[in-house]
Structure 1
Amino acid sequence: MIRPDFRSTGERFRESIVPALQITVAVTASYAIAHYWLGHAVPLLAVTVTISSLGFVRDARPVRVLESAVGMLIGIVLSESLLLVVGRGIWQIPVVLLIVLLVARVFSASNAFAVAAGVQSMLVLLLPAPVGGPFVRSLDGLVGGLVALLITAILPRDPRRIALHDARALFGAFTDALSLLVGALERGDGSAADRALDRLRGTQPILDAWSASLESARAIARISPFLRRHGPELDAQARVLRGMDLATRNLRVISRRLDFLVRDGVPRPAIAALVASLATSVSLLGQSLDDPRLGDTVRIGLVAVAERLRPDIVAKDAPVTDSVVVLMLRPLLVDLLTAADLPEEKARALLPDV
């Protein structure tokens, strides 16, 4: 029996409110311009182009909106041109569709671009010709695309909230994995190391989602007068993302090493304490996205961990395999320090000689 996920449903509903309002306003504007100003009786394509250009996708960058609008406009203009040459009928449908799809593929490598062009071309070919002569629907499509772009700038969605949501998801997975590794090291628990590795293996989609939502937020902030003031905040988040991307890749490698190492069942409290301190600083780094004042605290904590990364102290009298783990933590610390706004050269200089 399939049980409804009310939490996911509620979250999806909340996330859809702003995009739905944005699309509704844009469609109303497109219809009003095409119908009342241009005098088109049924400006269907103005409405469909607007809806399809904006959509509910996470990537609300103006360039994506423009690409969607251009794809549909190509389909409309090309099919209206072909309609004047070949007319309409059963054999014209495959001919027009094939030409539109191939031309669209020449313009863009995006599959969605070609599909959007093909759908609009079929609407042109199958619907009755509007009053006003050729290319009335092309004008409607142009209106829909321009309105979608304008609305993206003057009534933007709140892309910062989505990017922060994705960032918190990554930091949650990262700190969860660190906590599991602490338990694995403290108890020599192979199952905890397995769970940490599984958690980290699932972080790539989270990183990809954060990257896409943040790129969308920065692009919108550059053109929107209402969000432009948030540019520095988003730039800082981009710096954190770059550092966390590298740190996550490094932690996956370390986790695989520890997954093998703790199979002997031997507790390693010194390394566990080091990783626990690291987890605390990473948690604060995630919180600093909401409260930049934590930045100094994050850097102080990470520097304190970096200064302890000496195998002759942490893994004294331990097997060489333990010393290797301590050395593997050093690049991870550099990545986290750069995420915390420390230049890479200074971060590397903080590491003790070995």
Structure 2
Amino acid sequence: MRSGAATWASDGWRRLVESIPAIIQIVVAAMAAYAFADFVLGHRTPLLTITVAAASLGFKRDARPLRVVRTAIGMTIGIVLSEIAVNLLGVGFWQVAVITLVSLAVARFFSAEPGFAATVLVQAAIVVLLPSPAGGPFVRTLDGVIGGVAALLATVLVPRDPRREAARAATTSIESFEEVLGMLVVALRGGDIASSAQALDLARTSQAPTDAWADSLGSALSVARISPFLRRYLPELQAQQALQRSMDLAWRNLRVVARRADYLLRDGRSRPAIADAAAQLQTGTALLRESFVDISTLPAARAAFVAIVRRLDPDEVMPHGTARDQGLVLALHPLLVDLLCATGMPLDEAQALLPAL
């Protein structure tokens, strides 16, 4: 096993490598904003251009232009209110308290993220505690606007690759899906209640990676629609969005299957026929995941699911099973339909493949 220090270093290195595009984007935006304010407008030490540009972009997965604009507006309004307060009230202990209160209130209005409030407060503190620059009372407000505009332009003109984060989130979600199926195979084949409980626990906590995938795709599509450099990826991203929606539904149905299996296996009996079907589902899901790297595996994934669904008749899989056994087989039907749709098959065609009951 790796030591805690080795794990920390490995995670840090991976995080750094993954963040290089974001770092480049932030540096370009911040320095462009600073250069414009300094060399073009003559603002001395326009610190807020850097802080607003950097905070508006950040390292978040969601790099949608709307989020960047909303963040920049929230920060700039905080700066404006701080400048107004300083000019009307002056600078002192109670004035700082008032400005802090107003800045935090503005931040909470614009964003639910706790870190955003601290960021806005830093901008306000710069306005209150540092000497006023030459050029008038609202020079720093203009610097904030410049930083926000630079952040938005960087989103369009120096975009991060929208496919990389989405593909990474997709892989995480589908790998978890495969893992749950694998646990169910073990549980059903051996009547193992511990494995079924483990599968159910993992299925219940699966929404976070699925939501991360949806957020990454939403951000990627928003950027690709307005960036001339990424517009060519729109069809690919839209196809992946359709896949994500189908997999979201598949996850919901897999949770139902996991709950039914966990309840059913409390009798300690094995169900090898249902385990075989779950194992084939796992194989098809692995092929679906591989299609993100090699699209040629997508027909194989669809063929694997079609081969299962055509013979998933409860009377054939569990001819001597109880109603609950056959109910578990029936619970696989909507799951298979969702997985077939994830391969690009139309919903009506997928439903038509189900055995007649």
TM tier, shorter chain?
A: over 0.9
Tell me, yes or no, if the aligned pair for 1:68 and 1:116 is still in contact at 8 Å. no
The aligned residue for residue 268 of structure 2 is 265
Q: CA, structure 1 residues 114+180, in 2 after alignment: closer, same or farther (shift >3 Å)?
A: closer
Alignment partner of 1:53: what SS?
A: helix
The aligned residue for residue 199 of structure 1 is 202
Q: Report how far residue 175 of structure 1 moved.
A: 0.8
The aligned residue for residue 125 of structure 2 is 122
- Unpaired segments of 5 or more residues in structure 1? none
Select between 162-171 and 103-112 the one with higher mean Cα deviation. Answer: 103-112
The CA distance in 2 between the partners of 1:113 and 1:51, in whole Å, is 12
The CA distance in 1 between the partners of 2:109 and 2:219, in whole Å, is 25
The aligned residue for residue 296 of structure 1 is 299
- Selected match of 1:256 from 255, 259, 269: 259
The aligned residue for residue 228 of structure 1 is 231
The CA distance in 2 between the partners of 1:267 and 1:89, in whole Å, is 75
Tell me, yes or no, if the aligned pair for 1:247 and 1:336 is still in contact at 8 Å. yes
Aligned pair 1:60/2:63, yes or no? yes
Tell me, yes or no, if the aligned pair for 2:33 and 2:53 is still in contact at 8 Å. yes
- Selected match of 1:353 from 350, 353, 356: 356
Alignment partner of 1:289: what SS?
A: coil
Q: Which amino acid aligns with 2:282?
A: A
Aligned pair 1:280/2:301, yes or no? no
Q: Which amino acid aligns with 1:338?
A: C
The CA distance in 2 between the partners of 1:153 and 1:216, in whole Å, is 12
- Selected match of 1:338 from 337, 341, 347: 341
Q: Which amino acid aligns with 2:144?
A: G
The aligned residue for residue 316 of structure 1 is 319
Q: Report how far residue 256 of structure 1 moved.
A: 1.8
The CA distance in 2 between the partners of 1:89 and 1:184, in whole Å, is 68
Q: Which amino acid aligns with 1:95?
A: V
The aligned residue for residue 237 of structure 1 is 240
* Number of residue pairs aligned between Structure 1 and Structure 2: 354
The aligned residue for residue 171 of structure 1 is 174
Q: Which amino acid aligns with 2:276?
A: A
- Selected match of 1:159 from 158, 162, 174: 162
Select between 101-110 and 23-32 the one with higher mean Cα deviation. Answer: 101-110
Q: Report how far residue 95 of structure 1 moved.
A: 2.2
1:67-216 equivalences under 5 Å are: 67-103=70-106, 105=108, 114-216=117-219
Q: Deviations over 1:179-227 (max 9, x none)?
A: 2211222222222222222322331111121111111111111111111
Q: What is the TM-score of this pair, normalised by structure 1?
A: 0.94
Q: Report how far residue 2 of structure 1 moved.
A: 4.5
Q: Deviations over 1:272-300 (max 9, x none)?
A: 11111111111111122233333322222
Q: What is the aligned-residue RMSD (CA, Å)? A: 1.9
The CA distance in 2 between the partners of 1:180 and 1:335, in whole Å, is 20
Tell me, yes or no, if the aligned pair for 1:74 and 1:117 is still in contact at 8 Å. no
The aligned residue for residue 308 of structure 2 is 305
The aligned residue for residue 326 of structure 1 is 329
Q: CA, structure 1 residues 240+49, in 2 after alignment: closer, same or farther (shift >3 Å)?
A: same
Q: CA, structure 1 residues 104+189, in 2 after alignment: closer, same or farther (shift >3 Å)?
A: closer
Q: What is the TM-score of this pair, normalised by structure 2?
A: 0.93
Aligned pair 1:25/2:25, yes or no? no
- Selected match of 2:222 from 219, 223, 228: 219
Select between 211-220 and 197-206 the one with higher mean Cα deviation. Answer: 197-206
Q: Report how far residue 115 of structure 1 moved.
A: 4.6
Q: Which amino acid aligns with 2:319?
A: K
Q: Report how far residue 238 of structure 1 moved.
A: 0.8
Tell me, yes or no, if the aligned pair for 1:75 and 1:116 is still in contact at 8 Å. no
The CA distance in 1 between the partners of 2:344 and 2:168, in whole Å, is 21
Q: Deviations over 1:82-115 (max 9, x none)?
A: 2222222222112233334445555666666555
Alignment partner of 1:91: what SS?
A: helix
The CA distance in 1 between the partners of 2:204 and 2:281, in whole Å, is 20
Q: CA, structure 1 residues 183+43, in 2 after alignment: closer, same or farther (shift >3 Å)?
A: same
